Structure 1
């Protein structure tokens, strides 16, 4: 069905209009009028709350004049439902359904179109308008004309008209709940007090919601999207004590929320994003208003500034902007122009296209906000105070900004710190030596002002005293750190870049053994951390090396091929290892018998030594450490318990020598010969020689009287074994020959003497053997 549109240029279509009984226009006056209407068979019911009069399933065409249905001066219960009501007149008082002086009416599930007003209420209370569809061709979808209260408009669809719902100022306590209003000039245009507007969807209207002179009203949980350029999503004018809570205003073509001329209004928990077609379109404007509270709102991605406070015909003072998130707006986050005594606190303001906050007014308090990475505007500042901004107080804010100096002050007598604290500046270059949370030097603000008490707290600074870089350990090392600045609250370290953190107390300790043992050999990075009571963290790293080396043994004694006899050798060793040594032992038989010992010195077991044959013996020393690594070292020694064997080749027994000392030639069987010497019977001392041949000392020989002389030869080996062999020679020096034929000598007597000497010599030999 095609409808005419007296108020919009569009041609509208109604799909599947109700197939209902065609009815003439209806006009019921008073309760008696209802009785007559029923008696004529036009409705059902008894007019009670449980059995109301019911007008239903009608199709009423007013023919372009007057109203389709008029109910007047009625306080009984009735319903108008399931009807198609259309084509009223276009005069101000014409409507599809008009209630005048009516109480207890229910208008439900009707389709109304092509009427001046779809539903009009005048001096009517406690009526419910539910689940109706009001389509184009109307000036006002639902119109509260005058002196109506406690009416409820719920779950209706109102499209393509001028005003979806309108109320004049003498009405009150209207509830508008869960309606859908699309493509109207005004979604809601209300005056009057104590209205409740909740959970409605207003889409692509020129204005979403406009209320004026509407005190004590509540606007909760509405979605206002796509308001047109040149209009506002939510416009509140000259209204006090209005609560605007948890609404969403997005994708509007102009400023999303505009509050002007009000007192004590509260704007809480709203989302205002992606609004505005040009730079003058802001997220929220507050003008000529006082004591407004903006709390916990998100104002973001709007073309202009996020929030603009300004004076037009009255001052905009004493407002509170608290705990809001204001970010990524094309202009500044907040503009305070010609607005005094405002409190901007605890907001998160970041990534806006100009300043974080721009101030052109006086006596404002800017505190406890977080400013981060706003573009800084032409003056490169998070907060910019113009020449007209005086006596403002800025303190306890956090400026975490890439801007070199995020403050600029061209006004006068502005204070950038309170009596106890200033602001945090990420570009502050000073220190806080006494850890009182205040930087020791002022922070300079561009324009000549100073923050004399900048918030600053130095992170703890760690020095690792041990271990040192590239120290090598097998077992978990000890550590010792010192903290050069800051107060330590907690301490911890990690061996795996923070996957596992091990806490500790004090300044020294031992690296956790389980964590250490899980690490393989090679480089390990130890990172130590400390934090302070504010959560600031200081850290320092050191790289150490984990090794699996075996114990290294060095044998000082015995030495290689050292010779020993019957007595077992002593020993002296050294052991180098990064881990404690668990046990030490040695073997002299290839491990058949092991002999443990403690310390680094001792004696080879005498019993075991005595059981070994002469020859080369291998002594092997062992050591294992606490990690189970085993080291060993060998030394070969010689056992020799056999004395050298001497054979005297010459002189032979009873060789006779005269004045010339005899020569000798001997043989010695001994692999480890160390020294040789001889002695002469009756002569003190020994006479060493080398080799196997030689001559008896001539001088000593000369001093020996004639007769038998025992020569004893000695040979000593490396083990101290001594071999001995002797031979007896005769020293005989003939007398000098006399004059031949000397008289007086008897030859017989001379022979007897020679014989006697021979007998004596023989007897001595026999005695010897």
Structure 2
């Protein structure tokens, strides 16, 4: 069969070199034909030594060495070229003699298998290989050894729907296995080690599956994809390669790399250049010389659930890369950073664990509009998160503890939101910003840091600091120094800081500090600036008197130390503990398997926190809304019984209040035992009933004589309704007793007995028995009297 092959000029660089390929004769470009002599070898006869000469099969109709010819050769292994009976070449040993391909098959669409062959010493011309397929479909290359060739081990060019599996392609001068301009092929369970260049090369090819291969100790890359798209690369091991384990370049787009392993490579575990829309998932990349994963000018990449540790530089490095999504990745013990991103915007870093890295957990340079969400960035030698020259970023839910320098450090960051972050036990500061402006820092917990909870230094104007908890820090809760002006600081809690709650240095002017709570600090506040306004703060050493009950202490607070001579003229007065009302549940309410719904009213001008417990504080559950449901997982674990539900509330002054109620859990339905009537009973008159119903939370009992259509409630044992009984026909009667508890659990039990008219059978038996007995007595008496009237004998 004859077929023209169209070559896309931009698809792959190596196809240009095909023009120079010895043995290929191009008739036209971009389409070409392969002539009869395209890859002819000198001889196909088996040598007397048992080593076969190189084999060339060209299945063009005009070719003399097509499959029909092959069937006549002594090395032919049988078959008819069909799916059920493929041609076979097997158990051959072929020496290419350093000049040609060992096995060449081209222009073939029949089914064939090459297996268990040993091919070596192919030639040095471009693409000369131990096994070379050109314009081939429906082949299986299985279990061969294509090592020690002077160019390629196995090459598949312009060929589709082939299987290359279980082969060894080691110590080849160029690549172990090559796919070029080939699609929908499967390359699996091969070993491509110690090749002078790459282990496996995929160029200009798409929709191939590359899985469970080994590419180890190659001189170039383990597995390289160039202008390759929509390929699935999974379960491969690429280690100890001179360059990177996996390399995607030159518009290798829309590929998926899943569950691969990249160890001890001389450059990177995975390296992507100028490629987009790829997925890197569940990869393990350890001990690589530069980076675990490196993206360069590569966008829209999803990097998810990878393990990246012990690289000399970074777990992940990105440069000039945009709109990438990094989630669920673990980056541990890397020499530089867990993740580094430079000159890239719109990236998302989520649920990353970056611990014990040599510099920073995450380091962003010149990154704008990125999201850093719910990451754990601790125990690094410098900072948990470092940002330089970054604008419009969003940082939320980060944990940054136990870093040698700072939890978060920012240099020239602008218009960034930092919220709901926890930073503790860092060697310097929880958060430290320099030359940064227009940032919002809200609802963070910054505690137990060696120096400061939050620090602004050097030209940090117009920042908003709101709703933060800054407590137990070694120096200050908040330190502002050197030309930091026009900052708004309000509604923060500054508690138990060793030196000062807030310290403002000289040259820091026009800051507004209001509605903050200062508790048990060494010194609550210091101000060496000018024109800073301290308005309406709570000072735990100045809470009374408030004679007019307006919430303001009558006398201004004048104990703000420093050269500014600042005074808070309207200090907040003590207003007592929060007021709590439990709207729902009610005391002694009973619940089943579904957790109780609650509704509370809590009033305090400076409410700080709310929580509840069901075990007297062993487990506490915070809440922010005044209504909701009790935690289901906790409720599920509780056995049936009575529990005390306690609601707590604290205010920013440290006052705590609580209210409690008792609730019951009942997951068992009532039990019903019918004592009377029983199934053998027969009744003429209205029967009575005796039932024993057990349930600690019983709500209602009733019975029915018509399957529940009509019901009759009762509170104690008694007699069936007279009118209903009278209306029943004779025959079998079924009475069903029901019981429901307060949760709504329903139980029932029934019994059937008989109804009859006339004399009660028992009474009839008594009457008959009595009558017979009476007749016997009378007869006996008469016989006695007759006997007495006879004259006796003398």
User: What's the TM-score bracket when you normalise by the shorter of the two chains?
Assistant: 0.5 to 0.7
1:318 aligns with 2:346: yes
Q: Tell me by how many angstroms 1:175 deviates.
A: 1.2
Give runs of aligned pairs for residues 454-493 of structure 1, distance below 5 A.
454=492, 489-490=612-613
Matches within 5 A, 1:28-39: 28-30=57-59, 33-39=66-72
- The yes-or-no answer on 1:406 pairing with 2:442 is no
Normalised by the length of structure 2, the TM-score is 0.52
Contact 1:84–1:112 (CA<8 Å) still a contact in 2? Answer: yes
TM-score, reference length from structure 1: 0.54
Give me the whole-angstrom Cα distance separating, in 2, the residues matched to 1:65 and 1:197.
Answer: 33
* Correspondent of 2:225 among 175, 183, 190: 190
2:261 alignment partner in structure 1: 223
Tell me by how many angstroms 1:446 deviates.
5.1
- For 2:95 and 2:401, locate their aligned partners in 1 and report how far apart those are by CA, in whole Å: 63
* 2:56 paired residue among 3, 14, 27: 27
Match of residue 78 from structure 1: 112
Hey, what does 1:423 align to over in structure 2?
444
Change (3 A) 1:43 1:373: same
How big is the shift at 1:174?
A: 1.9
Work out the CA distance in 1 between the residues paired with 2:655 and 2:152: 71
- Whole-Å Cα distance in 1 between the matches of residues 50 and 649 of structure 2? 80
Aligned CA distance change for structure 1 residues 411 and 529 (closer, same or farther; 3 Å): farther
Whether contact under 8 Å (2:470, 2:478) holds in the other structure is no
User: Is residue 296–residue 323 contact of structure 1 (8 Å, CA) maintained in 2?
Assistant: yes
Q: How big is the shift at 1:198?
A: 0.1
1:151-177 deviations in whole A, cap 9, x for unaligned? 111000111012111122x21122110
1:111 to 133, 145, 148: 145
Change (3 A) 1:427 1:95: same
Shift of 1:445: 5.2
Task: Note the C-alpha offset of 1:402.
Answer: 4.0
Q: Which of the numbers 310, 331, 334 marks the counterpart of 1:299?
A: 331
Q: Which residue is 1:669 aligned to?
A: none
Distance in 2 (alpha carbons) for counterparts of 1:251 and 1:344: 26
1:655-694 residue pairs with structure 2 within 5 A?
A: none
User: Offset at 1:413?
Assistant: 1.8
1-structure distance, mates of 2:429, 2:213: 50
Q: Does 1:144 align with 2:145?
A: no
Alignment of 1:43 with 2:43, yes or no, is no
The answer to whether structure 1 residue 64 and structure 2 residue 98 are counterparts is yes
CA distance in 1, matches of 2:488, 2:339: 27
Match of 1:160 among 177, 194, 203: 194
Q: Distance in 2 between matches of 1:455 and 1:71?
A: 78
| Contact preservation (8 Å) 2:378, 2:400 | yes
Is 1:264 the counterpart of 2:305? The answer is: no
Counterpart contact for 1:408–1:446, Cα < 8 Å: no
1:374 pairs with one of 403, 410, 415? 403
Larger radius of gyration: 1
Would you say 1:355 and 2:376 are equivalent positions? no
Change beyond 3 A, Cα 1:395–1:86: same
Counterpart of 1:89 (choices 114, 118, 123) is 123
How many Å separate the matches in 1 of 2:298 and 2:333? 26
Please give the alpha-carbon distance, in whole angstroms, between the structure 2 residues aligned to 1:164 and 1:117. Answer: 10
Q: Distance in 2 between matches of 1:218 and 1:343?
A: 24
**Secondary structure of the equivalent of 2:84?**
coil
Higher relative contact order (CA 8 A, sep 6+): 1
Q: In structure 1, what is the equivalent of residue 410 of structure 2?
A: 385
**What SS is found at the alignment partner of 2:413?**
coil
Shift of 1:451: 6.1
Counterparts of 1:453 and 1:132 in 2: how far apart (Å)? Answer: 69
CA distance in 2: counterparts of 1:446 and 1:183, whole angstroms: 55
Q: Structure 2: how far apart are the matches of 1:201 and 1:485?
A: 53
Check the 8 A contact 1:199/1:222 in 2, yes or no. Answer: yes
Whole-Å separation in 2 of the counterparts to 1:538 and 1:273: 46
Give me the whole-angstrom Cα distance separating, in 1, the residues matched to 2:166 and 2:275: 30
User: CA offset at residue 487 of structure 1?
Assistant: 5.0
Residue equivalent to 1:124: 159
The 8 Å contact of residues 295 and 324 in structure 1, kept in 2 or not, is answered as yes
User: Secondary structure at 2:321's aligned position in 1?
Assistant: coil
Q: State the Cα deviation string for residues 220-241 of structure 1 (Å, max 9, x = none).
A: 000111112xx11110111111
Tell me the residue number matched to 2:394.
365
Q: Secondary structure at the residue paired with 1:133? A: coil
Residues 44, 453 of structure 1: alpha-carbon distance in 2 compared, 3 angstrom cutoff: farther
Provide the C-alpha distance between the structure 1 equivalents of 2:655 and 2:100, rounded to a whole number of angstroms.
82
Q: Confirm or deny: 8 A CA contact 2:235 2:261 kept in the other structure.
A: yes
Q: Aligned pair 1:135/2:170, yes or no?
A: yes
**Is this contact kept in 1: 2:467–2:490, CA < 8 A?**
no
Candidates 339, 357, 360, aligned match of 1:329: 357
RMSD: 3.5
Partners of 2:308 and 2:492 in 1: how far apart? 34
Q: Say which SS state the counterpart of residue 129 (structure 1) adopts.
A: strand
Structure 1 residue ranges (4+ consecutive) displaced by more than 6 angstroms after TM superposition: 455-459, 528-531, 536-539
* 1:85/1:416 CA distance change after superposition, 3 Å: same
Q: Gaps spanning 5+ residues in structure 1: where?
A: 1-18, 431-435, 464-483, 500-527, 540-769
Distance 1:130 1:139 in 2: 20
What does residue 255 of structure 1 align with? 291
Residue 93 (structure 1) shift:
2.1
The equivalent of 1:245 in structure 2 is: 281
Q: State the distance in 2 between where 1:248 and 1:336 align.
A: 23
Give how far 1:455 is off: 7.8
> Is the 8 Å Cα contact of residues 439 and 453 (structure 1) preserved in structure 2?
no
Structure 2 counterpart of 1:547: none
CA distance in structure 2 between the partners assigned to 1:97 and 1:285 by the alignment = 38
Counterpart selection for 1:177 from 191, 199, 211? 211
Can you give the 5+ residue segments of structure 2 that lack an aligned partner in the other structure?
A: 1-47, 454-465, 496-516, 520-576, 578-606, 620-643, 657-794
Q: Do the aligned partners of 2:257 and 2:281 also contact (CA within 8 Å) in 1?
A: yes
Q: Is the 8 A contact 1:423 1:451 kept in 2?
A: no
State the SS of the aligned residue for 1:356. strand
Aligned to 1:666: none
Q: 1:264 and 1:119 mapped to 2: Cα distance?
A: 33
Count of residue pairs the alignment pairs up = 444
Map 1:305-704 onto structure 2 (within 5 A): 305-311=337-343, 316-360=344-388, 361-376=390-405, 381-386=406-411, 388-403=412-427, 405-417=429-441, 421-427=442-448, 444=478, 448=484, 452=490, 454=492, 489-490=612-613, 532=648
Deviation at 1:532, TM superposition (A): 4.7
SS of aligned partner of 1:134: coil
C-alpha separation between the residues in 1 aligned to 2:345 and 2:205?
A: 30
SS, match of residue 113 in structure 1: coil
